[in-house]
């Protein structure tokens, strides 16, 4: 990973470190550009679509709303969360969208008058829709049948197709990763969305997770063309223990 300082990277939380009148002009300019787009396409898509299932949330024990009795994948497994989680995380082994054509999506979005796309490179379930080197749980790994397809690096294909239509590209990336053993440690209960261990008591484990997140963001920010906006989902422990944000555009954090 590069350690070179870049003028378009702000480290730390801007709301904490700077007053509004101290924000750099390039940031104001990029925010103004984003606001001028007004209408865009925010897209979640991943292996869970095989189950007609909402992304990630059914994996969380306390989020019962994500596992309604109308969800066949839930009732077919006897409402057994351990079994559901096991089979959900194995959906990468059957994910093979051979008719994937992001150009059709871009055409439809342009026809509707949209100006930007926000595509999920990774949701909380941890499956990477891009050719990351940081984990085997990715669309380009041999475990996934789609890895042989010429468009297997899905995020890159989506970004390229929409840029060809002059769209702004937004990269959605979840810092929380429930598939990572450094976030949800195997063999321990994971009742909610947070790490299932005391990160302060086990800083060496948490440090591995932070390095993993930084590595994936670095890949996205350096290997996938101009990114106008990154949308990263907030992780309380991550925000509390790190101050580093890597972004070549503007960052929205929830």
The tens digit of pLDDT for each residue in 127-155 reads: 999 999 999 999 999 999 999 999 999 99
Residue linked to tokens 């897209």: 43
- CA trace torsion 102, 103, 109, 110 (10° rounding): 160
Q: What secondary structure letter does DSSP report for 76?
A: T
Q: Round to the nearest angstrom and report the end-to-end CA distance of the chain.
A: 25
Is the pLDDT at 176 greater than 90? The verdict is yes
pLDDT at 244 over 50: no
- Give the span between the Cα atoms of 82 and 94, in whole angstroms: 20
Sequence-distant (6+) residues with CB within 8 A of 125 are 46, 48, 55, 56, 59, 88, 89, 178, 179
When pLDDT is cut at 50, 70 and 90, the band that residue 3 belongs to is: low
Residues 49-82: tens digit of each pLDDT: 999 999 999 999 999 999 999 999 999 999 999 9
Q: Which residues contact 189 (CB under 8 A, 6 or more apart)?
A: 61, 196
pLDDT at 20 over 70: no
14 alpha carbon, distance to own chain's centre: 21
Instruction: Look at residue 195 and tell me whether its pLDDT is greater than 70.
Output: yes
Q: What is the pLDDT of residue 253?
A: 46
Q: pLDDT at position 83, please?
A: 98
Q: Residue 174: how many CA atoms within 13 Å on its side-chain side?
A: 21
CB 55 within 8 A of CB 121: no
The HSE-up count of residue 147 (CA atoms within 13 Å, CB side) is: 16
- Write out the two tokens for 91: 């959906």
Confidence of residue 233 (pLDDT cuts 50, 70, 90): low
Domains in the chain (CATH in brackets) are 14-253 (3.20.20.80)
Quickly count: other Cβ atoms within 10 Å of residue 223's Cβ. 14
User: How far apart (Å, rounded) are the C-alpha atoms in residues 180 and 83?
Assistant: 18
């Amino acid at each position: 990973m590069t350690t070179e300082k870049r003028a378009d990277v702000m480290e730390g939380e801007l709301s904490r470190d700077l007053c509004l009148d101290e924000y750099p002009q390039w940031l104001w300019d990029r925010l103004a550009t984003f606001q001028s787009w007004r209408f865009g396409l925010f897209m979640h898509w991943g292996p869970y679509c095989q189950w007609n299932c909402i992304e990630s949330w059914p994996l969380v024990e306390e989020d019962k709303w994500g596992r309604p009795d109308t969800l066949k994948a839930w009732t077919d497994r006897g409402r057994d969360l351990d079994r559901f989680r096991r089979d959900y995380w194995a959906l990468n082994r059957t994910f093979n969208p051979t008719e994937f054509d992001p150009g059709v999506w871009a055409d439809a979005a342009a026809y509707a008058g949209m100006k930007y796309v926000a595509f999920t490179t990774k949701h909380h379930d941890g499956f990477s829709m891009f050719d990351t080197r940081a984990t085997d749980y990715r669309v380009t790994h041999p475990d996934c049948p789609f890895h042989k397809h010429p468009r297997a690096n899905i995020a890159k294909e989506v970004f390229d197709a929409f840029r060809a239509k002059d769209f702004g590209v937004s990269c959605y990336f979840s810092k929380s990763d429930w598939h990572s053993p450094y976030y949800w440690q195997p063999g321990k209960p994971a009742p909610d969305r947070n790490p299932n261990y005391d990160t302060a008591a086990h800083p060496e484990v948490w440090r591995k997770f932070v390095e993993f997140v930084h590595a994936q963001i670095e890949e996205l920010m350096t290997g996938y063309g101009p990114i106008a906006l990154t949308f990263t989902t907030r992780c309380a422990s991550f925000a509390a223990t790190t101050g580093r944000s890597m972004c070549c555009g503007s960052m929205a954090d929830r």
